[in-house]
Amino acid sequence: MSFSDYRTALVTGASAGMGTALVERLCAEGLTVHALARRADRLDELAARTGCIPHAVDITDTEALKAAVEGLEIDVLINNAGVGRAGNITTMDEFGVDELIDLNLRAVLHITRLLLPGMLERDRGHIVNIGSMAGQYNFGGNTVYHATKAAIRMLSQQLRIDVNGKRVRITEFSPGRVETEIFDRNHGMSKDEARQHWYEGYEIPGPADVADAIAYVINLPSHITIGHMEMMSTFQAPGGLSIVKTAK
């Protein structure tokens, strides 16, 4: 199976960052790409540029999501839409908990539930779940985000059991820091502030690097699955030891 065997794709979170780059790449490979996000103006601009099919939808609204994907035969599903929030569980408000669970996990489960049966029936498909290094490692802050991304990790592994015996592949893609819009949103910063704080002076991957890596994974022969791929700046390393000294 390679791009030439797939005809259709669906990318969530297509109006920014990695999602936009993935739509651009999949369209360039000749697939009919359905692009989902809330901001219609951005999707329209993307559609004009790439030929993708825009769907302005809040994917946490399950009825709206169902209506958007109803009847679609999707070969490549990229569960990309996600949000983060600064702070740990002691500082997170009710909205923050619900938003992260609803988008990063609940919407992924629903869209997978809706589209995977068709892939199994057609014996053709690939689901790429965008996780995070936060789903693999613990580090300071963002407790709820870590929890949702750890769920994506186990979901991706479990899906491989669910589809075993069919020509349907499951990949979890776990990025470290990538230059997108996520940090502006997480920290309520302007684009400029976020760039200065999170990106300037760092050699980190961009959305096109992510799209290249995912394109490689999709383009492998159908008897090969890359189950998990982690992408990070060479200058970013997870791990470390946290210990607090309590006596002088």
Ligand X SMILES: NC(=O)c1ccc[n+]([C@@H]2O[C@H](COP(=O)([O-])OP(=O)(O)OC[C@H]3O[C@@H](n4cnc5c(N)ncnc54)[C@H](OP(=O)(O)O)[C@@H]3O)[C@@H](O)[C@H]2O)c1
Q: Residue 106 has what DSSP assignment?
A: I
Catalytic residues: 145
CB nearer ligand X, residue 119 or residue 182? 182
Q: Judged by CB, which is closer to ligand X: 125, or 175? A: 175
Q: What is the DSSP string of 190-226?
A: -HHHHIIIIITT-----HHHHHHHHHHHHTS-TT---
Q: How far is the CB of 185 from ligand X (least distance, A)?
A: 5
Check if the beta carbon of residue 50 is closer than 8 Å to that of residue 22: no
Contact 40, 62 (CB under 8 A): no
- How far apart, in whole angstroms, are the C-alpha atoms of residue 120 and residue 122? 5
Quick one: 1 or 65, whose CB is closer to ligand X?
65
Which residues of this protein are in contact with ligand X, per CB under 6 A? 12-19, 36-39, 58-60, 80-84, 103, 130, 132, 175, 177-178, 180-182, 185
Q: What is the DSSP letter of 53?
A: E
- Closest distance of CB 192 from ligand X, Å: 15
Cα dihedral sign for 207, 213, 214, 218? Answer: positive
Min separation Cβ 28 and ligand X, Å = 18
Report the chain's terminal Cα–Cα distance, integer Å: 62
What is the nearest approach in angstroms of ligand X to the Cβ of residue 247?
38
| Helical packing angle, 62-69 and 107-122, nearest 10° | 20
- In the complex with ligand X, the residue whose CB is nearer, 1 or 69, is 69
